[in-house]
Amino acid sequence: MDGYRHVPEEEVAYRTVAAWDVAMPQPTALFVDETDTVWIAGADGIERYSEDGRSAGTLAVNGPIRCLAVADLPLPGGQTRRTILCGSGSEVTLWDEAGKPLGRWNSFGDKAVITSLAVAEEGVFVADAGNRVIHYVDFQGEFIGQLAQRDRERGIVGLVVPSPYLDVAWGSDGLLRVVNPGVHRVEYYQPSGDLEFFWGKAGLQKDGFCGCCNPAHIALLPDGSTVTLEKALLRVKVFSPQGEFRCWVAGPDFFGDAESMATETRDDERTPVPDLAVDSRGRIVLLDCGRRKVFVLEPKTAADVSATERNETAAESGAAAPGQAESAAGFAESAAEKGEAESGFVETAEKKRDAASEKAEAVPKKPEAVPKKAEAVAEKAEAPPEKAEAASEKAAP
């Protein structure tokens, strides 16, 4: 697994263009609105920042807040009102920009754990990790429907949520992206509840999702690509709208000590899970909850790539002293001979693993039947997310 803790710099396609510290002691959630205002929520309310990190004020709202969204919600008479929606425990609370309470939606049940909110044209999608369902409500909080519940006839396996991370994102194409973390995939739904298609697979490779239940968070780029963030072994990647791996945004090293990731077992030792969003220019915004810091990243330019290549070339040319070249060459030759034998074993193992992955993946455009393996996992996932989290994180690779 050590080989997966580090991503070579030349494979990372994004660079940091802005970064700043967050004032609140325990940040937990991130949202970026259409004006590129960055909203940070946590145990002690909400903080606002401009896109370059200047403070734009705070709101003293009740916490702790696990997720939030900011939107202009319609009012009777055709007017709209800027509204901050906060997922806190089993309910959604609503506030105006001055921090005045506007109401609460608390009809999701005692088992509800609200983990994500997505505002669409006709209502709001509310991700509920406790009940393993996506609620669809209107702007007054009245139920319209529910999505992602197990339904054999519609080819829906149901949500497998071992830990309290269940994310959603509304696309401009009119489809809701729903993470099914225990099955390691992203599913696309019509507001009516019909499953259009899905993609994703388990694995430590760059095109897979590791651990018991990932990705933890997603966000959408302007072209419909999906940015994913995995917990435990923290990794950020971009996938095409069809689910093909495109590039690395950040590897485990970006978030600090990669060696300690996925090895912590106690609650107070676990690496805090970051959050992510995308701004109006397509830049990726990361909230590093552990370091209490915000990072803004954008794709590297050709000049950035050239500079990296020059640095690597310079490092390679100076790696061996002239007097050590012959000895180093002899060592390398010996190592290469040993490596040939080992590579044959590795190649065979990788072929077997890839064959197994291809057989298990079988991603249909219009799913005809419930995958048996995923259904079996769903039937066993009965423990509440909070109680199952510690056990599932121990099992993470």
Write the CB contacts of 319 (distance below 8 Å, at least 6 apart in sequence): none
Q: What's the chain's average pLDDT?
A: 82
pTM for this entry: 0.79
Lowest mean pLDDT, pick from 157-166, 211-220, 247-256, 316-325: 316-325
Question: Smallest Cα–Cα separation from 31: which of 69, 71, 63?
Answer: 69
Write down the pLDDT at residue 391: 43
Confidence of residue 169 (pLDDT cuts 50, 70, 90): very high
Q: Does domain 2-301 have CATH number 2.120.10.30?
A: yes
Half-sphere exposure at residue 162, Cβ-oriented, CA atoms within 13 angstroms: 22
127 by Cβ neighbours in 10 Å (0-12 / 13-18 / 19+) ranks as buried
pLDDT digits (tens, 9 = 90+) for 193-207: 999 999 999 999 999
| Neighbour-count burial for 333-356, b at 16+ CB within 10 Å, e otherwise | eeeeeeeeeeeeeeeeeeeeeeee
Residue 157 burial (CB < 10 Å; 0-12/13-18/19+)?
buried
pLDDT digits (tens, 9 = 90+) for 115-135: 999 999 999 999 999 999 999
